[in-house]
Structure 1
Amino acid sequence: MSGPQCCENPPALNPNSGEGTVEEFGGLKSYLTGSLEAKATVLLVSDIFGFEAPNLRKLADKIAVTGYFVVVPEFMHGDPYDPEDAARPLMVWLQDHAVDKGFEEAVPIVEAIKSKGFSTIGAAGFCWGGKVAVELAKAGYIQAAVLCHPTFVTVDDIKEVKAPIAVLGAEIDHISPPELVKQFEGAMLVDGYVKIFPGVEHGWTTRYDVADAEAVKNAEEAHKHMLDWFVKYVK
């Protein structure tokens, strides 16, 4: 369920991007933004390019401004996918970065969030991170989930989700095509919805060109759906 489209438009990673700080949190280096006095927490689970993607950190800061403490863990352990590394294609890289391991490492992050006094947690997952977020929702660790162009997520996964879930899909997506993503809505046993965004490709919510006004507009529309979902359920 992964392929070349998953690797297109890699971000120019910048460890110094964003307005937050990078600290160890729940056993992983993490980008933290927002106040510990916030009303609730949002966990962002990156795609295969990791937590140094400037657009991802910009989104984390945007969520924090609305009143959340936001955690973006470094699930890639300093080894984000490099499409230029011909000796290590995606399927080989994934052997070292399985989504099951991502879920296992997310659980201590959730416990660390709770140790800070937060009882309500939302999670958004992008591509690879979508599977991690859905596993958290299946296991009852979070109170709401948003999946953005998810990878590896199945209809059976959605049937087991225990938290309200919004799925934001792309019209042009060979990894999670609209015909699959639309099936998610009928499988939901909790409050949720699926929205297919027209004219956009897999990765559009975080891997957009900031100089492309239309791309920015499409990404920001998805961000609004995400924020609205968290405002409704993560409080």
Structure 2
Amino acid sequence: MGLPSATTASFSFSTTISAAAARAAAAATKPRSFLYRGLYFLSTSSSPLLPSPRKRSLYPWRSSIDNVANRVSCNLLKVDDDINDEACELVNGVALSIGEGVDSIHAYLFKAVKNNNGTGILLLSDIFGFEDSSTRDFAYRVACNGYNVLVPDLFRGDPWAKDRPMTMFEHWLAKQEPQRVAMDIATAAKWMADEFLAVGISKKLGIIGFCFGGGRLIEVLSRDQGACFGVGVSFYGTRMDPSVASNVKVPVLFISGDNDPLCSVNVSKDIEKRIGHGSRVIVFQERGHGFAHRPNSPEEDRDAELAFVLMRNWLHDGLVLEE
């Protein structure tokens, strides 16, 4: 089940392959180990996030991660070390307060330690916010692959709650003022870029977005126009605006399901063509909304694993190899 269909923008072609063949192809292109100058975010009150012993599963990064309550400031220090492909336990996490006064926002930073490739990723959450366990578990695994992942609070402490009646959703969403959300994302991106520049590293950032965050990702990249971000990955973005897509100057990978009522495949393909720059749309058959970071079945687990590999290779090729 879950046969992925890949479509490439402007050079447009379509192909459908079996999930097993796709996984084999993705595994064959798994990035090899390299030695990079990494980064270690040092904090006086940060706590390492060490995974508890657990059995292997189809979705191995779905672990319980404790929140760090205190907000601290972070500094970047250079380190050199060998990359260890199995170094997922070497991920530290820290809660942050970025900015000052009424413009300050909360965020959470996952940072790779021994296998750090010196690259930053900004992750924009879905409507359930930056403290949601599914979002943090996904960010944790991205960090396991060598990245420094910042997850900002897009909703200023008021994310959507699963127990709220859907009749309140549009009212809640209207309170998430677009200009304020855009400003908070810009604050988070600037903080991350400044931290890297402080240690003499000017690599461009990557950006990942889920659902609400996936829709905002297109707006962010259209304003950025390649200044800060080098690549993007939008997972089933909602309420995406095709009219701004032509301003996006970097390649974007779109991942969605063909049974998703909130993310039209046709809209994603339209945006892909408007962006160009090698952007791609990957459509998973028989998958609905949220399958890549909230899988609810063994079949969704397998497709979530494949989606993660596709994203990982996209980030590696666009951010690490480009350097």
Tell me the TM-score range normalised by the shorter chain.
0.7 to 0.9
1:224 equivalent to 2:309? Answer: yes
Contact kept? 1:42, 1:70, Cα under 8 Å = yes
**What's the counterpart of residue 135 of structure 1?**
219
TM-score (norm. length: structure 2): 0.63
- Do the aligned partners of residues 110 and 154 (structure 1) sit closer, same or farther apart at CA in structure 2, a change above 3 Å counting? same
Q: Using the alignment, how far apart are the partners of 1:31 and 1:98 within structure 2? A: 22
1:20 equivalent to 2:93? Answer: yes
Offset of 1:38 from its aligned partner?
4.2
- Do the aligned partners of residues 177 and 66 (structure 1) sit closer, same or farther apart at CA in structure 2, a change above 3 Å counting? same
Paired-residue identity, %: 24
- Segments of structure 1 that go 5 or more residues without pairing to the other structure are 1-12
RMSD (Å) for aligned C-alpha atoms: 2.4
Contact kept? 1:99, 1:131, Cα under 8 Å = no
Which protein is bigger by CA-based radius of gyration? 2
**What's the counterpart of residue 69 of structure 1?**
148
Identify the match of residue 51 of structure 1 among 126, 130, 147.
130
Contact kept? 2:142, 2:149, Cα under 8 Å = yes
**What's the counterpart of residue 164 of structure 2?**
85
**What's the counterpart of residue 181 of structure 1?**
268
**What's the counterpart of residue 292 of structure 2?**
205
Q: Using the alignment, how far apart are the partners of 1:182 and 1:108 within structure 2? A: 30
Contact kept? 1:139, 1:162, Cα under 8 Å = no
1:155 equivalent to 2:239? Answer: no
Contact kept? 1:205, 1:218, Cα under 8 Å = yes
SS state of the match for residue 287, structure 2?
A: strand
Identify the match of residue 139 of structure 2 among 54, 60, 72.
60
Offset of 1:70 from its aligned partner?
0.6
- Do the aligned partners of residues 213 and 234 (structure 1) sit closer, same or farther apart at CA in structure 2, a change above 3 Å counting? same
Q: Using the alignment, how far apart are the partners of 2:189 and 2:265 within structure 1? A: 31
1:32 equivalent to 2:116? Answer: no
**What's the counterpart of residue 79 of structure 2?**
none
Offset of 1:126 from its aligned partner?
0.7
Q: Deviations over 1:66-109 (max 9, x none)?
A: 21111011112221112433396111001111344322111111
Q: Using the alignment, how far apart are the partners of 2:223 and 2:135 within structure 1? A: 25
Contact kept? 1:100, 1:132, Cα under 8 Å = no
SS state of the match for residue 111, structure 1?
A: helix
SS state of the match for residue 286, structure 2?
A: strand
Give 1:48's aligned amino acid.
Answer: I
Contact kept? 1:99, 1:132, Cα under 8 Å = no
1:184-195 counterparts in 2 under 5 A?
A: 184-195=271-282
> After alignment, is 193-202 or 32-41 more displaced?
32-41
Q: Using the alignment, how far apart are the partners of 2:216 and 2:66 within structure 1? A: 23
- Do the aligned partners of residues 100 and 214 (structure 1) sit closer, same or farther apart at CA in structure 2, a change above 3 Å counting? farther
Give 1:138's aligned amino acid.
Answer: S
Give 2:319's aligned amino acid.
Answer: V
SS state of the match for residue 291, structure 2?
A: coil
TM-score (norm. length: structure 1): 0.85
Offset of 1:16 from its aligned partner?
2.9
Q: Using the alignment, how far apart are the partners of 2:166 and 2:317 within structure 1? A: 45
Q: Using the alignment, how far apart are the partners of 1:179 and 1:187 within structure 2? A: 12
**What's the counterpart of residue 6 of structure 1?**
none
Q: Deviations over 1:150-195 (max 9, x none)?
A: 0111322322211111111211111222222222232223221111
